[in-house]
Amino acid sequence: MEKIPLIDLRAQYRELKDEIDAAFLRVMASGEYIAGPEVEGLEAEIAALTGAAYAVSVANGTDALALALEAAGIGPGDEVVTTAFTFFATAEAIVRRGAVPVFADIDPATYNMCPLDTEQRITPRTKAILPVHIFGQPADMSAFSSLAERHGLKLIEDACQAIGATLEGRPVGAMGDAGCISFFPTKNLGGYGDGGIIVTNNERIANEARLLARHGSRKKYFHETIGVNSRLDPLQAAIIRVKLKRLEEWNDRRRQAAEYYNNGLRHTPLRLPAVMDKAEHVYHLYAAQYEHRDELMERLKGDGISSGHYYPCPLHLQQALTFLGYKAGDLPVTEKTCAHSFALPLSPHLTREQQDYIISKVIQYT
Ligand SMILES: *Cc1c(COP(=O)(O)O)cnc(C)c1O
Protein backbone atom coordinates (compact mmCIF):
# COMPACT_ATOMS: atom_id res chain seq x y z
CA MET A 1 0.00 0.00 0.00
CA GLU A 2 1.29 3.46 -0.95
CA LYS A 3 1.71 5.99 1.82
CA ILE A 4 -1.62 7.51 2.93
CA PRO A 5 -1.51 11.26 3.59
CA LEU A 6 -3.84 12.93 6.09
CA ILE A 7 -5.53 14.69 3.19
CA ASP A 8 -4.86 14.04 -0.48
CA LEU A 9 -4.82 17.43 -2.25
CA ARG A 10 -3.33 16.06 -5.45
CA ALA A 11 -6.24 13.63 -5.84
CA GLN A 12 -8.57 16.61 -5.46
CA TYR A 13 -6.75 18.44 -8.26
CA ARG A 14 -6.82 15.38 -10.51
CA GLU A 15 -10.60 15.17 -10.17
CA LEU A 16 -11.07 18.75 -11.41
CA LYS A 17 -7.88 19.37 -13.37
CA ASP A 18 -9.49 20.45 -16.66
CA GLU A 19 -11.92 22.89 -15.06
CA ILE A 20 -9.33 24.32 -12.68
CA ASP A 21 -6.76 24.78 -15.44
CA ALA A 22 -9.37 26.50 -17.60
CA ALA A 23 -10.34 28.86 -14.76
CA PHE A 24 -6.69 29.66 -14.10
CA LEU A 25 -6.00 30.41 -17.77
CA ARG A 26 -9.15 32.50 -18.03
CA VAL A 27 -7.91 34.80 -15.26
CA MET A 28 -4.38 34.90 -16.66
CA ALA A 29 -5.76 36.04 -20.02
CA SER A 30 -8.22 38.55 -18.51
CA GLY A 31 -5.70 41.18 -17.45
CA GLU A 32 -7.58 41.62 -14.14
CA TYR A 33 -5.49 40.38 -11.24
CA ILE A 34 -7.07 42.24 -8.32
CA ALA A 35 -10.84 42.32 -7.63
CA GLY A 36 -13.21 41.93 -10.60
CA PRO A 37 -15.89 39.44 -11.65
CA GLU A 38 -14.34 36.23 -10.27
CA VAL A 39 -14.08 37.75 -6.80
CA GLU A 40 -17.57 39.25 -6.94
CA GLY A 41 -18.95 35.96 -8.27
CA LEU A 42 -17.42 33.99 -5.41
CA GLU A 43 -18.70 36.49 -2.83
CA ALA A 44 -22.24 36.09 -4.17
CA GLU A 45 -21.96 32.30 -4.20
CA ILE A 46 -20.63 32.07 -0.64
CA ALA A 47 -23.34 34.45 0.57
CA ALA A 48 -25.95 32.19 -1.07
CA LEU A 49 -24.40 29.03 0.38
CA THR A 50 -24.34 30.38 3.94
CA GLY A 51 -27.64 32.20 3.69
CA ALA A 52 -25.89 35.50 4.43
CA ALA A 53 -26.92 38.82 2.94
CA TYR A 54 -23.29 39.93 2.54
CA ALA A 55 -19.89 38.34 1.95
CA VAL A 56 -16.58 40.21 2.05
CA SER A 57 -13.57 38.35 0.69
CA VAL A 58 -10.21 38.88 2.38
CA ALA A 59 -6.67 37.53 2.18
CA ASN A 60 -7.02 34.66 4.67
CA GLY A 61 -9.14 33.29 7.52
CA THR A 62 -7.05 35.03 10.17
CA ASP A 63 -7.74 38.43 8.58
CA ALA A 64 -11.41 37.47 8.35
CA LEU A 65 -11.45 37.02 12.13
CA ALA A 66 -9.50 40.19 12.94
CA LEU A 67 -11.52 42.33 10.52
CA ALA A 68 -14.87 40.89 11.62
CA LEU A 69 -13.98 41.67 15.23
CA GLU A 70 -12.94 45.20 14.31
CA ALA A 71 -16.03 45.77 12.16
CA ALA A 72 -18.19 44.52 15.04
CA GLY A 73 -16.62 47.16 17.29
CA ILE A 74 -14.34 44.91 19.36
CA GLY A 75 -11.23 46.78 20.43
CA PRO A 76 -8.59 47.40 23.10
CA GLY A 77 -9.41 45.98 26.53
CA ASP A 78 -12.58 44.18 25.44
CA GLU A 79 -12.86 40.56 26.52
CA VAL A 80 -13.82 37.90 23.99
CA VAL A 81 -14.77 34.47 25.30
CA THR A 82 -13.49 31.71 23.02
CA THR A 83 -12.04 28.20 23.06
CA ALA A 84 -8.43 27.12 23.61
CA PHE A 85 -9.00 23.97 21.56
CA THR A 86 -8.51 25.50 18.12
CA PHE A 87 -5.88 26.74 15.71
CA PHE A 88 -3.81 29.61 17.09
CA ALA A 89 -5.30 32.19 14.70
CA THR A 90 -8.57 32.33 16.67
CA ALA A 91 -6.85 33.91 19.67
CA GLU A 92 -4.22 35.70 17.61
CA ALA A 93 -6.92 37.71 15.83
CA ILE A 94 -8.42 38.76 19.19
CA VAL A 95 -5.02 39.85 20.53
CA ARG A 96 -4.24 41.72 17.30
CA ARG A 97 -7.33 43.83 18.03
CA GLY A 98 -5.90 44.69 21.44
CA ALA A 99 -8.72 42.65 22.95
CA VAL A 100 -8.32 39.89 25.54
CA PRO A 101 -9.12 36.25 24.78
CA VAL A 102 -10.84 34.54 27.71
CA PHE A 103 -10.87 30.78 27.33
CA ALA A 104 -13.85 28.58 28.17
CA ASP A 105 -13.47 24.81 28.45
CA ILE A 106 -14.86 22.38 25.87
CA ASP A 107 -17.41 19.59 25.78
CA PRO A 108 -15.42 16.31 25.86
CA ALA A 109 -17.70 14.59 23.33
CA THR A 110 -17.89 17.22 20.58
CA TYR A 111 -14.64 19.16 21.25
CA ASN A 112 -16.70 22.35 20.95
CA MET A 113 -16.81 25.24 23.43
CA CYS A 114 -19.10 24.54 26.37
CA PRO A 115 -21.96 27.08 26.73
CA LEU A 116 -22.23 26.62 30.52
CA ASP A 117 -18.55 27.30 31.06
CA THR A 118 -18.75 30.20 28.60
CA GLU A 119 -21.44 31.87 30.69
CA GLN A 120 -19.27 31.58 33.81
CA ARG A 121 -16.47 33.50 32.07
CA ILE A 122 -18.62 36.51 31.16
CA THR A 123 -17.65 39.69 33.04
CA PRO A 124 -18.68 43.35 32.69
CA ARG A 125 -15.78 43.72 30.22
CA THR A 126 -16.95 40.90 27.91
CA LYS A 127 -17.96 42.23 24.49
CA ALA A 128 -18.18 39.13 22.33
CA ILE A 129 -18.40 35.35 22.19
CA LEU A 130 -16.33 33.61 19.52
CA PRO A 131 -17.18 29.91 19.18
CA VAL A 132 -15.25 27.76 16.70
CA HIS A 133 -17.03 25.00 14.75
CA ILE A 134 -14.13 22.74 15.45
CA PHE A 135 -13.20 19.98 12.99
CA GLY A 136 -16.32 20.85 10.97
CA GLN A 137 -18.95 20.27 13.65
CA PRO A 138 -21.28 23.19 14.47
CA ALA A 139 -20.91 24.61 17.96
CA ASP A 140 -24.07 24.85 20.06
CA MET A 141 -25.23 28.07 18.39
CA SER A 142 -28.69 28.20 19.93
CA ALA A 143 -27.10 28.28 23.39
CA PHE A 144 -24.53 30.88 22.30
CA SER A 145 -27.17 33.04 20.59
CA SER A 146 -29.26 33.17 23.72
CA LEU A 147 -26.18 33.91 25.85
CA ALA A 148 -25.20 36.74 23.49
CA GLU A 149 -28.70 38.13 23.58
CA ARG A 150 -29.08 37.96 27.36
CA HIS A 151 -25.72 39.59 28.01
CA GLY A 152 -25.75 42.04 25.10
CA LEU A 153 -22.69 40.52 23.40
CA LYS A 154 -21.59 40.23 19.80
CA LEU A 155 -21.48 36.69 18.43
CA ILE A 156 -18.76 35.92 15.87
CA GLU A 157 -18.36 32.44 14.40
CA ASP A 158 -15.00 30.95 13.51
CA ALA A 159 -16.31 28.75 10.70
CA CYS A 160 -12.86 28.33 9.12
CA GLN A 161 -13.12 24.52 9.30
CA ALA A 162 -16.85 24.17 8.77
CA ILE A 163 -18.07 25.57 5.46
CA GLY A 164 -21.20 23.66 4.47
CA ALA A 165 -21.98 22.38 7.97
CA THR A 166 -25.52 22.94 9.23
CA LEU A 167 -27.35 23.02 12.52
CA GLU A 168 -31.09 22.36 12.49
CA GLY A 169 -30.84 22.75 8.73
CA ARG A 170 -29.27 26.21 8.93
CA PRO A 171 -25.77 26.69 7.50
CA VAL A 172 -23.02 27.88 9.82
CA GLY A 173 -21.46 31.29 9.22
CA ALA A 174 -24.34 33.71 9.35
CA MET A 175 -26.00 32.58 12.58
CA GLY A 176 -24.48 35.33 14.70
CA ASP A 177 -23.26 38.84 13.87
CA ALA A 178 -20.55 37.61 11.50
CA GLY A 179 -18.84 34.41 10.45
CA CYS A 180 -15.29 33.80 9.25
CA ILE A 181 -14.27 31.23 6.67
CA SER A 182 -10.81 30.19 5.48
CA PHE A 183 -9.83 28.99 2.01
CA PHE A 184 -6.48 27.59 3.19
CA PRO A 185 -5.64 24.69 0.81
CA THR A 186 -6.41 21.89 3.29
CA LYS A 187 -9.79 23.29 4.36
CA ASN A 188 -12.95 21.66 2.99
CA LEU A 189 -13.12 24.42 0.38
CA GLY A 190 -9.50 25.41 -0.25
CA GLY A 191 -7.70 27.50 -2.83
CA TYR A 192 -4.15 27.06 -4.06
CA GLY A 193 -2.81 29.58 -1.60
CA ASP A 194 -4.33 31.74 1.13
CA GLY A 195 -7.83 33.15 1.13
CA GLY A 196 -10.74 33.93 3.41
CA ILE A 197 -14.17 35.51 3.60
CA ILE A 198 -16.46 37.18 6.13
CA VAL A 199 -20.21 36.49 5.92
CA THR A 200 -22.85 38.51 7.73
CA ASN A 201 -26.45 39.64 7.67
CA ASN A 202 -25.49 42.97 9.19
CA GLU A 203 -25.07 45.66 6.54
CA ARG A 204 -23.08 47.94 8.83
CA ILE A 205 -20.58 45.17 9.69
CA ALA A 206 -20.29 44.22 6.00
CA ASN A 207 -19.58 47.81 4.94
CA GLU A 208 -17.14 48.39 7.77
CA ALA A 209 -15.26 45.11 7.10
CA ARG A 210 -14.98 45.94 3.40
CA LEU A 211 -13.78 49.47 4.17
CA LEU A 212 -11.14 48.18 6.62
CA ALA A 213 -9.94 45.44 4.26
CA ARG A 214 -9.48 47.93 1.40
CA HIS A 215 -7.16 50.52 2.99
CA GLY A 216 -10.05 52.34 4.64
CA SER A 217 -11.09 53.55 1.21
CA ARG A 218 -14.44 53.50 -0.60
CA LYS A 219 -13.31 55.85 -3.35
CA LYS A 220 -9.92 55.30 -4.95
CA TYR A 221 -7.18 57.46 -3.38
CA PHE A 222 -9.53 58.84 -0.67
CA HIS A 223 -9.12 57.21 2.75
CA GLU A 224 -11.65 57.56 5.56
CA THR A 225 -9.82 55.49 8.11
CA ILE A 226 -6.73 53.35 8.66
CA GLY A 227 -7.38 49.90 7.28
CA VAL A 228 -5.25 47.12 5.88
CA ASN A 229 -4.67 45.54 2.50
CA SER A 230 -6.50 42.24 2.70
CA ARG A 231 -7.91 40.93 -0.59
CA LEU A 232 -8.65 37.62 -2.22
CA ASP A 233 -6.91 37.20 -5.57
CA PRO A 234 -9.09 36.58 -8.65
CA LEU A 235 -6.89 33.55 -9.40
CA GLN A 236 -7.85 32.00 -6.07
CA ALA A 237 -11.48 33.05 -6.44
CA ALA A 238 -11.71 31.38 -9.87
CA ILE A 239 -10.21 28.13 -8.55
CA ILE A 240 -12.39 28.14 -5.43
CA ARG A 241 -15.50 28.66 -7.59
CA VAL A 242 -14.72 25.47 -9.49
CA LYS A 243 -14.33 23.52 -6.26
CA LEU A 244 -17.43 25.11 -4.73
CA LYS A 245 -19.60 23.20 -7.20
CA ARG A 246 -18.28 19.99 -5.63
CA LEU A 247 -18.44 21.07 -1.99
CA GLU A 248 -21.74 19.43 -1.12
CA GLU A 249 -20.77 16.15 -2.74
CA TRP A 250 -17.32 16.25 -1.15
CA ASN A 251 -18.78 16.95 2.29
CA ASP A 252 -21.12 13.98 1.74
CA ARG A 253 -18.17 11.79 0.88
CA ARG A 254 -16.42 12.98 4.05
CA ARG A 255 -19.47 12.02 6.11
CA GLN A 256 -19.62 8.60 4.47
CA ALA A 257 -15.92 8.03 5.20
CA ALA A 258 -16.47 9.08 8.82
CA GLU A 259 -19.36 6.64 9.15
CA TYR A 260 -17.19 3.91 7.71
CA TYR A 261 -14.56 4.60 10.39
CA ASN A 262 -17.23 4.76 13.09
CA ASN A 263 -18.47 1.36 12.07
CA GLY A 264 -15.07 -0.24 11.52
CA LEU A 265 -13.59 1.06 14.77
CA ARG A 266 -16.59 0.63 17.06
CA HIS A 267 -15.11 -2.33 18.95
CA THR A 268 -11.74 -0.67 19.56
CA PRO A 269 -10.93 1.27 22.76
CA LEU A 270 -10.80 4.52 20.73
CA ARG A 271 -13.23 7.25 21.69
CA LEU A 272 -14.83 8.11 18.35
CA PRO A 273 -16.10 11.58 17.40
CA ALA A 274 -19.65 12.28 18.55
CA VAL A 275 -22.11 14.25 16.45
CA MET A 276 -24.39 16.72 18.18
CA ASP A 277 -28.12 16.34 17.81
CA LYS A 278 -29.49 18.10 14.69
CA ALA A 279 -25.97 18.93 13.48
CA GLU A 280 -24.59 18.06 10.08
CA HIS A 281 -20.85 17.61 10.60
CA VAL A 282 -18.55 18.17 7.59
CA TYR A 283 -15.54 16.33 9.07
CA HIS A 284 -12.77 18.74 8.24
CA LEU A 285 -10.95 16.28 10.48
CA TYR A 286 -11.89 12.89 11.88
CA ALA A 287 -10.56 13.20 15.41
CA ALA A 288 -10.66 10.30 17.87
CA GLN A 289 -9.16 9.91 21.32
CA TYR A 290 -6.97 7.17 22.69
CA GLU A 291 -4.95 6.83 25.87
CA HIS A 292 -1.85 5.53 24.16
CA ARG A 293 -2.17 7.90 21.24
CA ASP A 294 1.53 8.65 20.72
CA GLU A 295 2.46 4.97 20.45
CA LEU A 296 -0.45 4.32 18.09
CA MET A 297 0.48 7.27 15.84
CA GLU A 298 4.07 6.06 15.74
CA ARG A 299 3.06 2.53 14.73
CA LEU A 300 0.65 3.79 12.06
CA LYS A 301 3.44 5.95 10.67
CA GLY A 302 5.59 2.82 10.40
CA ASP A 303 2.88 1.40 8.12
CA GLY A 304 2.78 4.52 5.93
CA ILE A 305 -0.38 5.93 7.51
CA SER A 306 -0.22 9.65 8.38
CA SER A 307 -2.17 10.86 11.35
CA GLY A 308 -2.31 14.34 12.83
CA HIS A 309 -1.91 15.71 16.31
CA TYR A 310 -4.87 18.06 16.83
CA TYR A 311 -4.01 20.00 18.92
CA PRO A 312 -0.70 19.30 20.64
CA CYS A 313 -0.79 22.45 22.78
CA PRO A 314 -3.98 24.25 23.86
CA LEU A 315 -3.95 28.00 23.29
CA HIS A 316 -3.99 28.96 26.97
CA LEU A 317 -0.62 27.20 27.39
CA GLN A 318 1.02 28.65 24.25
CA GLN A 319 4.23 30.55 24.90
CA ALA A 320 2.93 33.58 22.98
CA LEU A 321 -0.06 33.86 25.32
CA THR A 322 1.65 33.41 28.71
CA PHE A 323 0.90 37.09 29.42
CA LEU A 324 -2.76 36.11 29.81
CA GLY A 325 -1.78 34.30 33.03
CA TYR A 326 -3.22 30.84 32.46
CA LYS A 327 -1.53 27.75 33.86
CA ALA A 328 -1.77 23.99 33.38
CA GLY A 329 -4.94 22.69 35.03
CA ASP A 330 -7.06 25.77 34.21
CA LEU A 331 -8.98 24.04 31.40
CA PRO A 332 -9.01 20.36 32.39
CA VAL A 333 -11.16 19.00 29.55
CA THR A 334 -9.24 20.91 26.88
CA GLU A 335 -5.91 19.74 28.30
CA LYS A 336 -7.00 16.10 28.60
CA THR A 337 -8.33 16.19 25.04
CA CYS A 338 -5.07 17.66 23.72
CA ALA A 339 -3.24 14.78 25.40
CA HIS A 340 -5.34 12.08 23.74
CA SER A 341 -6.87 13.33 20.48
CA PHE A 342 -5.55 12.65 17.00
CA ALA A 343 -6.89 12.70 13.46
CA LEU A 344 -6.96 9.80 11.02
CA PRO A 345 -6.67 10.39 7.25
CA LEU A 346 -9.93 11.69 5.82
CA SER A 347 -10.76 13.45 2.60
CA PRO A 348 -13.31 13.03 -0.18
CA HIS A 349 -10.67 11.08 -2.09
CA LEU A 350 -9.78 8.52 0.55
CA THR A 351 -10.63 5.10 -0.91
CA ARG A 352 -12.43 2.24 0.81
CA GLU A 353 -9.34 0.13 0.27
CA GLN A 354 -7.21 2.70 2.11
CA GLN A 355 -9.78 2.93 4.91
CA ASP A 356 -9.94 -0.85 5.30
CA TYR A 357 -6.17 -0.89 5.63
CA ILE A 358 -6.18 1.91 8.23
CA ILE A 359 -8.98 0.28 10.21
CA SER A 360 -7.22 -3.10 10.24
CA LYS A 361 -4.02 -1.49 11.51
CA VAL A 362 -5.80 0.48 14.25
CA ILE A 363 -7.57 -2.72 15.36
CA GLN A 364 -4.26 -4.56 15.37
CA TYR A 365 -2.50 -1.93 17.51
CA THR A 366 -5.20 -1.17 20.08
C1 LIG B 1 -7.45 27.63 9.38
C2 LIG B 1 -8.05 28.28 10.57
C3 LIG B 1 -7.95 29.65 10.80
C4 LIG B 1 -7.09 30.57 9.99
O5 LIG B 1 -7.28 30.53 8.66
P6 LIG B 1 -6.09 31.01 7.66
O7 LIG B 1 -6.79 31.11 6.35
O8 LIG B 1 -5.05 29.95 7.70
O9 LIG B 1 -5.60 32.32 8.14
C10 LIG B 1 -8.62 30.17 11.88
N11 LIG B 1 -9.33 29.41 12.71
C12 LIG B 1 -9.43 28.07 12.53
C13 LIG B 1 -10.25 27.27 13.48
C14 LIG B 1 -8.77 27.47 11.47
O15 LIG B 1 -8.85 26.14 11.32
Statement to judge: residues 159 and 144 lie in one domain:
yes
Statement to judge: residues 176 and 321 lie in one domain:
no
- Quote the domain boundaries for residue 333: 247-365
Look up residue 35 and give its DSSP letter.
S
Ligand 1 lined by 89 (C-beta under 6 Å): yes
Statement to judge: residues 116 and 25 lie in one domain:
yes
How many domains are there within the chain? Answer: 2
The preferred substitution site among 62, 187, 228 for testing ligand 1, maximizing ligand atoms within 8 Å of CB, is 62
Ligand 1 lined by 87 (C-beta under 6 Å): yes
User: Cα of 188 to ligand 1 centre, how many Å?
Assistant: 12
187 has catalytic annotation: yes
Q: Binning pLDDT at 50, 70 and 90, where does residue 1 land? A: confident
> CA–CA separation, 21 vs 340, rounded Å?
41
- In this structure, the residue with its CA closest to atom 6 of ligand 1 is 61
Statement to judge: residues 280 and 166 lie in one domain:
no
Q: Note whether 337 and 108 are within 8 A (CB).
A: yes
What's the whole-number average pLDDT of the chain?
A: 97
Ligand 1 lined by 188 (C-beta under 6 Å): no
What average pLDDT does the segment 128-155 reach? 98
CATH number at residue 168: 3.40.640.10
User: Cα of 182 to ligand 1 centre, how many Å?
Assistant: 6
Q: What is the pTM of this model?
A: 0.98
> CA–CA separation, 71 vs 204, rounded Å?
8
Q: Note whether 174 and 205 are within 8 A (CB).
A: no
Dmax (CA) for the chain in angstroms is 66
> Which of 188, 209, 244 corresponds to the end of one domain?
244
Look up residue 189 and give its DSSP letter.
S
Per-residue pLDDT of 329-356, as tens digits, reads 999 999 999 999 999 999 999 999 999 9
Q: Note whether 69 and 97 are within 8 A (CB).
A: yes
DSSP letters spanning 139-157: P-HHHHHHHHHHHT-EEEE
> Which of 190, 217, 244 corresponds to the end of one domain?
244
Catalytic residue among 3, 17, 127, 187: 187
E strand or H helix at 81: strand 79-83
> CA–CA separation, 168 vs 138, rounded Å?
10
Note whether residue 302 is domain-resident: yes
Per-residue pLDDT of 61-72, as tens digits, reads 999 999 999 999
> CA–CA separation, 263 vs 260, rounded Å?
5
